[in-house]
Chains A and B, each alone.
Chain A
Amino acid sequence: MFDRTVHLLNESGLHARPATLFVETASKFRSQIMVKKGDQEVDGKSVLSLMLLELTKGTPVTIKAEGEDEVQAVNALVELMEGLFDS
């Protein structure tokens, strides 16, 4: 299992479009991916679960992966989340 914690940077949090991007990226990996906010943990490949988590700006979010490509998956998703910003 591999995990990293990030803080969402963009003003509007993880809205529909960023959540869509997140799931598209997560689905490229074989590992099981979980997203954790506080004590809630949801399936990182489910766009509905992600949006229902209501991730807002500045929330610490832990991205966990379990599987053969867990490190690459987590790193790719962290990079994606850090790259979200409102121009």
Chain B
Amino acid sequence: MFKGIGASPGVAFGRAVVLADEKQAASGTAKSGIEEETARLESALSETRRQITDIMDRCATGVGEKEARIFKMQLLVLDDAMFLNRVKDDIRSGRLSAAAAVQDAVSSLSGRFEGLSDDYLRQRAIDIVDVGKRLLQNLNRLPSHDTGPQEAGIIFAPDLTPSETSLMDPQTVLGLVTEAGGPTSHTAILARALNIPAVVGTKGVLALVRDGDTVIVDGGSGEVFIRPDVPTVDCYRRRAEAERSAREKLAGAVDLPAVTLDGFRVAIAVNIGGPREIGAIPSPGAEGVGLFRTEFLFLSRDTLPSEDEQFGIYREVVSRAAPHPVVFRTLDAGADKSIPALRLAAEQNPFLGLRGIRLCLRQEQGMFRDQLRALVRASVFGKMAVMLPMVSDVAEIEASRKILGEVLREPGPDGEKIAEDVPLGIMVETPAAAVMADSWAAAVDFFSIGTNDLIQYVMAADRLNERVAYLFQPFHPAVLRMISGVVQAAHRYGKRVTVCGEMAADPLAVLLLTGMDVDGLSMSPGAIPLIKNTIRGVKKNDVTALARKALGLPGAGQVVEMVREFYRERLDADV
């Protein structure tokens, strides 16, 4: 058994198709003249451009617009002065043939990318190599093989370039195993987009696997079995079948309510954060918008949006979602999410600085009042609530409620009173808000837990800092205890608690959240079928016991292990 990095989940079963790495033979010094080499380069360049454009078009229709953009960058690389000037200079000097010059430039450039500290940018080395390979093939007039295996199989390769991966047909490629690559490599990204199970980073596997071997690939755990024994085959065959039926069940779950087997119902809503997503409201399977991020209205512009401009957008959102409610979060900006019009000073510690409600209440330009007025005016077109971000003190709630009260009493543009009331709730993102939930419950209409920031503040670990990102642990009992405490406190006062961070879209976390009596979950639309299916497959009593046990465990590792086991058992599938 080989252990690599699970890059795209699912179990694949079948025969190995081993793709050997074809080393391109590039002859050294120019055999033909400088002019001839230059001409060969030009014709190879235009042929390569044509091929990449062709792949890009096929990829855009077959895989997705987003993945096709990888090839847009490759096209730019072909015309990049940094790359081309070097190649042309080497040819002109007479030192190298066109092929050798290309190979030289590619290996030097990919080397520089591999030396970068940013993990994602480092992996772009493969794009350079991909373009280079193709260019060399055209220079050497080698036929380019853009087709995957004809018979269905599992591909084994040292590494796959984006063009190789994207041209794979999911009908014949059952799985992918590469020796190189990380979880953010192209192979991983494209395999996930194509729903092909994949394992990357399996060093040494090519020395062992032979063409035609029976293999099993588990893209979830990263395990690769070569010539497995009968019990392993039986075990995985059952799992593969279970997965297939789970997928079918999943697609049907989107319109069903999120109710446990014993009748406990969780409200499901969507997060909306950009103008393009507004058109998708109402989202299938969602009961309204659980988090509407208003930041996009304020970004990429030099002036603040006017009350009327905001009103227009809020009204559209509220009417689209009606009769379901929309929870609008007031501007959540700070030095880390800077608003040009506010000219915010850079801060040493933006995550602990002037952001969220602190910024809203500090503003001098009437920005917060304008936003609240626009919201109040839009409220009569449907159902809505206002939510304050980054609250850490009760004075922030009181000050906001006072302004909201004034706005509610003011006459609207036609001189009439606009609305009677708009519910006001807070995001629970700071440990202070989590701990004080019982004391503040009377002051708010609802709570919504923003897990991304809460985890970061509870664990005192910046999730964007690679070196401490391992401490960003959603399943840490400290985080779970905070959440559980908020739910219990709120429920004692009859207030609702929802969760709108990443945890709400994670099936394992959802088991615990449901067990802790969370009233609603808000997530990206794509996560809804899986989350509903998860909730529909368990009993409330069981997840309650599971959550209680989790709160008593010492660390995140033990919690994940226990919840994963529970999920596997009850839902008959792996996450």
- Do A and B bind? yes
Task: Please give the residue numbers on chain A whose beta carbons come within 8 Å of chain B beta carbons, in ascending order.
Answer: 7, 9, 11-13, 15-17, 19-20, 23-24, 43, 45-49, 51-52, 54, 56-58, 79, 82-83, 85, 87
Does any Cβ of A come within 8 Å of B62's Cβ? no
Does any Cβ of A come within 8 Å of B337's Cβ? yes
User: Do A13 and B118 have beta carbons less than 8 Å apart?
Assistant: yes
User: Do B121 and A20 have beta carbons less than 8 Å apart?
Assistant: no
Chain B residues whose C-beta falls within 8 Å of the C-beta of A43 in the assembled complex: 81-82
Stretch at the interface among B19-27, B72-80, B392-400, B534-542: B72-80
User: Do A51 and B81 have beta carbons less than 8 Å apart?
Assistant: no
Chain B residues whose C-beta falls within 8 Å of the C-beta of A83 in the assembled complex: 299-300
User: Do A87 and B296 have beta carbons less than 8 Å apart?
Assistant: yes
Stretch at the interface among B108-116, B233-241, B280-288: B108-116
User: Do B80 and A46 have beta carbons less than 8 Å apart?
Assistant: yes
The chain B residue with its CB closest to the CB of A13 is: B118
Does any Cβ of A come within 8 Å of B340's Cβ? yes
Quote the shortest CB–CB distance from B87 to chain A (angstroms): 12
Quote the shortest CB–CB distance from B332 to chain A (angstroms): 12
User: Do A52 and B299 have beta carbons less than 8 Å apart?
Assistant: no
B115-145: contact bitstring with A at CB < 8 Å (1 yes, 0 no)? 0111011001001100000000000000000
User: Do A54 and B118 have beta carbons less than 8 Å apart?
Assistant: yes
User: Do A52 and B112 have beta carbons less than 8 Å apart?
Assistant: yes
Supply 16 A–B pairs (Cβ within 8 Å), ascending by A: A11-B464, A17-B69, A19-B73, A20-B76, A24-B72, A46-B81, A47-B73, A48-B128, A49-B80, A49-B82, A51-B124, A52-B112, A56-B118, A82-B340, A83-B300, A85-B337
Does any Cβ of A come within 8 Å of B83's Cβ? yes
Does any Cβ of A come within 8 Å of B157's Cβ? no
User: Do A51 and B296 have beta carbons less than 8 Å apart?
Assistant: no
Quote the shortest CB–CB distance from A23 to chain B (angstroms): 5
Q: How far is the CA of A72 from the CA of B69 in the complex (A)?
A: 26
Does any Cβ of A come within 8 Å of B273's Cβ? yes
Quote the shortest CB–CB distance from A65 to chain B (angstroms): 16
User: Do A15 and B69 have beta carbons less than 8 Å apart?
Assistant: no
Quote the shortest CB–CB distance from A42 to chain B (angstroms): 8
Q: How far is the CA of A57 from the CA of B334 in the complex (A)?
A: 14
Chain A residues whose C-beta falls within 8 Å of the C-beta of B51 in the assembled complex: none
Chain B residues whose C-beta falls within 8 Å of the C-beta of A49 in the assembled complex: 80, 82
Chain B residues whose C-beta falls within 8 Å of the C-beta of A79 in the assembled complex: 300
Does any Cβ of A come within 8 Å of B274's Cβ? yes
Does any Cβ of A come within 8 Å of B544's Cβ? no
Q: Which of A24, A46, A48, A85 has the most CB of B within 10 A?
A: A48
Does any Cβ of A come within 8 Å of B221's Cβ? no
Q: Which of B113, B120, B293 contacts A15 (CB 8 A)?
A: B120
The chain B residue with its CB closest to the CB of A22 is: B76
Does any Cβ of A come within 8 Å of B346's Cβ? yes
